[in-house]
Amino acid sequence: MTFYLVRRVAIGFFLLLLMSAIFFTLTRVTPGAPVSVGENPRIHQEQVNRRLHSMGLTDPNGKPYTVPESYVRYVVALVHGNLGDSYQYNEPVTTLLMQRLPNSILLLGAALLVALAIGIPLGIYASTHQYSKADMTTSIVSYIGVSIPSFVLGIYLLLIFAVFLKQTPLHWGFPLFGMHTGGVDDPVDLLVHMVLPVTALAILQIAIFSRFMRASMLEVLHQDYIRTARAKGLAVERVNYKHALRNAILPIITLVAIAIPQIVNGAIITEGIFSWPGTGQLAFQAVVDRDYPVILGVVMLVAAGTVFFNLIADVLYAVADPRIRY
Amino acid sequence: MSDLLRIEDLHTQFHVHGGTVKAVDGVNLTIPAKATVGLVGESGSGKSITALSIMRLLEKNGRITQGHVFFHGQDLVGLPDEQMQEIRGNDISMIFQEPMTALNPVFTVGDQIAEAVRLHQKVDREAGLKRAIEMLRLVGISDPKRRAGQYPHELSGGMRQRVMIAMALSTSPELLIADEPTTALDVTIQAQILKLMRNLKGEFGSAILLITHDLGVVAEMCDSVAVMYAGRIVEQAPTEELFASPKHPYTQGLLASIPRLGKKQERLHVITGSVPNPLAVPPGCAFRPRCPIKAPRSDRDIPALKPNGSTAEHLVACWQYE
């Protein structure tokens, strides 16, 4: 197990290095530049050159670094824990991420928890009442939930509950972490603001989790050992919740392990609709601005999260399933 | 001997795509206390469904439509679930054909045996585990303490079937239903498991309903035997009597198809034709299309199971003896 973990961590670092190379190259070969006369004719080429130099894109003689040269400079800074400075905000990327991350974690974390708390029991219920009216209804609603993109759902939710019914606030200049305000000082107000975006994000995940849980549970319920447990004289509920659930929950671990790093990623479109200053919005604006360090900062953070949580999932497997040993 | 289990006119049907399958179609069978009764027949003849009907463990699309299963005079058909749960695993235990998949992969075998003990004898975890270890030792597993802490995937097929037997007998049931307990095992392991079951039967005094398609197993284990065909019992007799003078053409065919040592045979005897489509069983005797005798009336009426042999215990359902 120790050897396995060491090997996995080593592979993880190698993967992150590989990903940094790929994404670094991709951002640099994308057309456009952080500053150019072409985009803003009112500035002088001299100013542009000075700016490019201050961004670390040219050497002291004003000659632009090649992509491999600048990648090496990036990686050297990265191993020192320096993600660079944002071109747009003139602030370290780490500072920006620390401002935005809590907002995304709050929003997407809440959505994930809500989705798990509703989706998993729903899936279990549907499987133990297969073909019942409740099961059919869950299936149909899940299907609709999977089919509606969250940006469509988000806009309609805002339109119905905030504009027509005036029950929830329009998302406009409310206090959150970072940005212009010092932080959250009114939890009730925060919760009220969270209802719609969390709903928009959770519906899709509820649909996915419940479908997955139902299928996994149904597969287990047809296993021979379920009949053995019944033949022992155990009540149906005990068979379902002890013998079946313990086996059926195993594949769900992977699903959750993939979902957790997405929290860090933020939700680009949903955050946009609800003016939620999370990492998704930060990343989107960074792409528009060619703010290379910020783009890479967000991407690398998600990559590291994915690698880390996949490792956690594999360790959890070994804990939950005695057949798996490393 | 008093009757432990008495099945009367049992009908079990399954609703499937395309119609209703009469998997068990009027079975009568009696199991005396401490006796070993064999139930033989080919795949699809309804032996396993008979067993699952006794346990009331049918899949959702299956239903007992008629008949009774008296256990100590109490009818199990229609018994409330709570009372049935007290009987299952306590008074009547069951072991299954597939030892590889019949144990839950995420719990230790000790815990799985102890679960039955704790459930029915209302003892604590420690006492349950102690009983589990004792049972593992009784079924011939060496180092039972260590084995009790292992998971099913760490045991071989033969050992898993021993674990299943330990689990089934841990509550000292009066009836053990063994559904093809050795079919999935190697021949040498089969012999060991059968020997074990015989020994433990002496120790625990349980009656056994042994379901098999292996007549050799029947000859070795059973006091009496019932032969099933297409959901009905066609012949029933004490084991020796049945092997010595089979009466039903199907039983005769079965016994004739066993190769014998020392007897030179060019080809083995076969029963021509195949089992009727369960969705379209012919009227009259279901065996008639394959029957060499084709007795009169067998095309219209189903023959009843009654004494037609040399003794009152030898029952057969065939019109040729009317």
> pLDDT tens digits, residue range B50-84?
999 999 999 888 999 999 999 999 999 999 999 99
Among A50, A79, A108, residue at a domain's last position? A79
Cβ-nearest to B90 among A233, A236, A247: A233
Probe site for chain A from B55, B106, B122, B154 (most A CB atoms < 10 A): B106
Is residue A52 one of the residues assigned to a domain?
yes
pTM for the complete prediction? 0.84
Dist CA B94 CA B82 (whole Å): 18
Interchain pair A323, B102: CB under 8 A? no
Mutate which: A127, A225, A232, vs B, most B CBs within 10 A = A232
Do A164 and A260 fall into the same domain? yes
Question: A171 burial class (0-12, 13-18, 19+ CB within 10 angstroms)?
Answer: middle
Outline where chain A has alpha helix (H): 2-29, 45-54, 67-79, 93-128, 133-147, 150-157, 187-221, 224-231, 236-238, 245-248, 250-265, 268-273, 279-289, 292-320
Copy the structure tokens of residue B6: 């008495």
Supply the pLDDT for residue A269: 87
CB contact under 8 A, B89 and A322: no
| Pick from A152-166, B21-35, B229-243: least confident | A152-166
At B155-203, the pLDDT tens digits run 999 999 999 999 999 999 999 999 999 888 888 888 989 999 999 998 8
CB–CB contact A232 B81 (8 Å): no
A248 and A212 together in one domain: yes
Half-sphere exposure of B31 (CA within 13 A, CB side): 28
Q: Measuring CA to CA, which residue among A26, A94, A23, A36 is closest to residue A64?
A: A36
Q: Same domain for A171 and A203? A: yes
Q: What is the pLDDT of residue B60?
A: 87
Judged by a CB distance cut-off of 8 A, whether residue A325 touches chain B is: no
Owning domain of residue A65? 16-79
Residue A178 confidence (pLDDT): 46
Quick one: pLDDT at residue A176? 59
Is the pLDDT confidence value at B280 over 90?
Answer: no
> Is position A40 within any domain?
yes
Q: What is the pLDDT of residue A179?
A: 46
A162 and A308 assigned to the same domain: yes
Residue A184 lies in a domain: yes
pLDDT at B271: 87
- Please judge whether B103 and A322 are an interchain contact, meaning their C-beta atoms are less than 8 angstroms apart: no
Q: Measure Cα distances from A200 to A255, A282, B154, B264, B274 in Å.
A: 19, 20, 47, 80, 60
* Domain boundary residue, one of A79, A108, A124: A79
CATH of the domain at A174: 1.10.3720.10
CB < 8 Å to A320, chain B:
106
Q: Are residues A257 and A109 in the same domain?
A: yes
Which chain A residue has the Cα nearest residue B114?
A: A232
B260 contact partners, CB below 8 Å, separation of at least 6: none
Q: Give this complex's ipTM.
A: 0.89
Final residue before a domain boundary, out of A28, A51, A79: A79
Q: Is residue A85 part of a domain?
A: no
Q: Do A320 and B106 touch (CB under 8 A)?
A: yes
Residues in chain B whose Cβ is within 8 Å of chain A: 55, 57, 81-82, 85-90, 93-94, 96, 98, 101-108, 115-116, 119-120, 151, 153, 164, 167
Residue B1 confidence (pLDDT) above 70 = no
Distance CA B320, CA B322 (A): 6
Cβ separation A231–B88 shorter than 8 A = yes
Residues of chain B contacting A231 with CB distance shorter than 8 Å? 55, 57, 88-89, 93-94, 96
Instruction: Tell whether A229 is within 8 A of chain B (Cβ).
Output: yes
Token digits of residue A110: 């809440």
Cα–Cα dist A25/B246, whole Å: 85
Instruction: Report percent pLDDT > 90 for chain B.
Output: 70
Look at residue A105 and tell me if it is in a domain. Answer: yes
Give the per-residue pLDDT at A30.
82
Q: Does residue B284 have a pLDDT over 60?
A: yes
Q: Which residue of A has its CA nearest to B112?
A: A229
Residue range B125-129: average pLDDT? Answer: 94
Residues A282 and A276: their CA atoms lie apart, in Å, by 10
Contacts of B90 in chain A (CB under 8 A): 233
Best mean pLDDT range from A44-48, B123-127, B269-273:
B123-127
Residues of chain A with pLDDT under 50: 178-182
Q: How many separate domains does chain A show?
A: 2
Q: How far apart, in Å, are the Cα atoms of A238 and each of A176, A245, B93, B298?
A: 45, 10, 18, 49
For residue B28, what pLDDT is reported?
93
The whole-angstrom separation of Cα A169 and Cα B138 is: 71
> Does residue A187 lie within any of the structural domains?
yes
Instruction: Answer yes or no: is A7 within a domain.
Output: no
Q: Which chain B residues contact residue A323 at CB under 8 A?
A: 105, 151, 153
Residue B222: pLDDT over 50: yes
Nearest CA in chain B to A130: B60
B chain contacts of residue A229, beta-carbon cutoff 8 Å: 104
Residues of B in contact with A247 (CB under 8 A): 104-106
The label of the residue with tokens 């790929």 reads A22
Asked whether the beta carbons of residue B153 and residue A323 sit closer than 8 angstroms, the reply is yes
Q: Say yes or no: A74 and A110 in one domain.
A: no
**A73 in the same domain as A163:** no
A176: its two tokens: 């959150």
pLDDT confidence of residue A273: 87
- Cβ contacts of residue A211 below 8 Å, gap of 6+? A123, A139, A142, A146
Q: Which of A224, A235, A246 sits opposite B96 (nearest CB)?
A: A224
Same domain flag for A200 and A104: yes
Within 8 A of A236 by CB-CB distance, chain B residues are 81
A84 part of a folded domain:
no
Chain A residues inside the 8 Å CB shell of B98: 224
Query: Are A228 and A131 in the same domain?
Result: yes
Predicted pLDDT at B117 = 95
For residues A181 and A232, membership in a common domain is answered with yes
Average pLDDT over residues B131-150: 94
Q: Does A129 lie at the interface with B, CB-CB under 8 angstroms?
A: no
- Residue contact A233–B88, C-beta within 8 A: yes
Query: For the purposes of burial, counting CB atoms within 10 Å of the CB of B272, is it exposed (0-12), middle (13-18) or buried (19 or more)?
Result: exposed
3-state helix, strand, coil in chain B (%, to 5): 35, 25, 40
Average pLDDT over residues B18-40: 93
Contact call for A225 and B120, based on CB within 8 A: no
A170 and A268 part of one domain: yes
Provide the residue type at A63 as one letter.
K
Cβ distance A234 to B85 less than 8 Å, yes or no, reads yes
Return the CA Rg of chain A: 24
* Residue A285 φ/ψ region, left for φ over 0, alpha for ψ in the -120 to 50 degree band, beta for the rest: alpha
Q: Which of B104, B111, B115 to mutate to test the interface with A (most CBs of A within 10 A)?
A: B104
Q: How far is CA A147 from CA A143, A151, A211, in A?
A: 6, 12, 13
Beta carbons of A228 and B164 less than 8 Å apart: yes
Same domain, A199 and A164: yes
Q: What is the pLDDT of residues B30-41, one digit of tens each?
A: 999 999 999 999
Alpha-carbon radius of gyration of chain B: 20
Residue B130 has pLDDT above 50, yes or no: yes
CB pairs under 8 A between A and B: 71
**pLDDT at position A37, please?**
59
Query: How far is residue B24's CA from residue B30's CA, in Å, rounded to a whole number?
Result: 16
pLDDT at B18 over 90: no
Helix (H, G, I), strand (E, B) or coil at B178: strand
- Per cent of chain A over pLDDT 90 is 43
